[in-house]
Amino acid sequence: MTKRQPGIFDCELLVVTGKGGVGKTTLAAALGLLAAQRGKQTIVCELSGQRRIPALVGHPTSGPPGSEEPLAPDLWATTIDPEQALVEWAGRLIRPRLLLDLAVHSNSFAGFINAAPGGRELLTIGKAVDLSRDERWNSDRDGYELVILDAPASGHGLAMLQTPKTFAQIAHVGPIASQARQLDELLRDPQRCQIVTVTTLEQTPVNETLELQQALVEQLGHGPGLVIANELIADDLDDHALAQLEIAIPAAGSALTGAVTARHARAALEAGQLKRLRAGLSCELATLPLITEHAVGPDELATLVRLLGQQLTAGD
């Protein structure tokens, strides 16, 4: 088995990314639950406009956007709004408070975010890291032991991780440059930041996963600590058993035979992609089955947490 970087949960920030549609948000929630079950005070962060994780866990969303909602013992969820994050960050720098209020009401902050390429991404990462700090931007609450960021899909996620370095190079000096350098140092340190990539076993997602691993190494100096291959098809038939099935079922049952054959063929393709993925990765690979054809809810999520926990325990 390939080795993963030690302590997937023993960091400050855990970034979850992967090609769109592979179950990234579901597995960010699963990782959050698993970390909480292992005694980590954990918060899972979604991007502005997204509030799926509370429902996945079975918790009705009641707080306003940006609130830190308790979902389960040692588990919280929140959304990160870049404009709100900028106000919180600037509140530590701008005095008196009246000047900050004037800037907020004049939409100066919104203008900055919209005008500065990567500004939203920088503030999103900054706010996620702020949630792990004991001295937070505008809260008396203690920081969380682990912050899980449900990041954008692969390409945009990689660009987000690049923004602190870019801003540090552009700004050179001042509070923005200082903040950007601190974030870049954290992202580059695998003891403080781990990355989890989610994929399905199809050619394009697997290609993106392997390409992302290489890009992360080049950009941050370390690749993902864990890759999760999601939604594997269960198939216990071999080619001989399938041939026997085709003989045993009369022509009237050809639709059933066709469905079984198609499922078997898909499972075979997935097996090939799994082999290719294992060969190309430099970290641990966990696999999770397709457990439902409908929307994932709390029961399905609990199953994923259990299966994922068994594999990560075995890899420790």
Tokens of 196: 């989890």
Radius of gyration of the chain measured on its C-alpha atoms = 22
Record the pTM. 0.85
- For residue 243, what pLDDT is reported? 57
Which domain, by its residues, includes 208?
13-235+284-315
Residue 4 located in a structural domain = no
- For residue 262, what pLDDT is reported? 63
SS (H, E, C) 188-216: HCCCCEEEEEEEECCHHHHHHHHHHHHHH
Residue 124 located in a structural domain = yes
Residue 98 located in a structural domain = yes
> Three-state SS for 125?
helix
Q: Which element (helix H / strand E) includes 98?
A: helix 97-105
Residue 85 located in a structural domain = yes
> What is the phi/psi pair of residue 153, to 5°?
-60, 165
Residue 257 located in a structural domain = no
- Cα–Cα distance measured from residue 264 to residue 65, given in angstroms and rounded to the nearest whole number: 45
Residue 247 located in a structural domain = no
Whether omega before 96 lies within 30 degrees of 0, making that bond cis, reads yes
Q: What is the full per-residue pLDDT of the chain (316 aa) written as tens digits? A: 344 445 799 999 999 999 988 999 999 999 999 999 999 999 999 998 788 999 999 887 767 778 899 999 999 999 998 878 777 766 565 554 554 454 545 555 555 555 566 778 888 999 999 999 988 867 677 899 999 999 999 899 999 999 999 888 877 777 778 888 999 999 999 999 999 999 999 999 999 999 999 999 999 999 999 999 999 887 655 565 555 555 556 554 565 555 566 665 677 788 899 999 999 999 999 999 988 767 788 999 999 999 999 999 654 5
- Cα–Cα distance measured from residue 49 to residue 80, given in angstroms and rounded to the nearest whole number: 9
- For residue 2, what pLDDT is reported? 43
Q: Buried (b) or exposed (e) across 239-248, using 16+ Cβ within 10 A? A: eeeeeebeee
Residue 120 located in a structural domain = yes
Specify the CATH number for the domain of residue 154.
Answer: 3.40.50.300
- For residue 80, what pLDDT is reported? 92
Q: What number of other Cβ atoms are within 10 A of residue 77's Cβ?
A: 30
Residue 242 located in a structural domain = no
CB 80 within 8 A of CB 119: no
- For residue 59, what pLDDT is reported? 87
- For residue 81, what pLDDT is reported? 85
- Cα–Cα distance measured from residue 74 to residue 1, given in angstroms and rounded to the nearest whole number: 31
Closest CA to 70 of 94, 54, 93: 54
Count of domains for the chain: 1
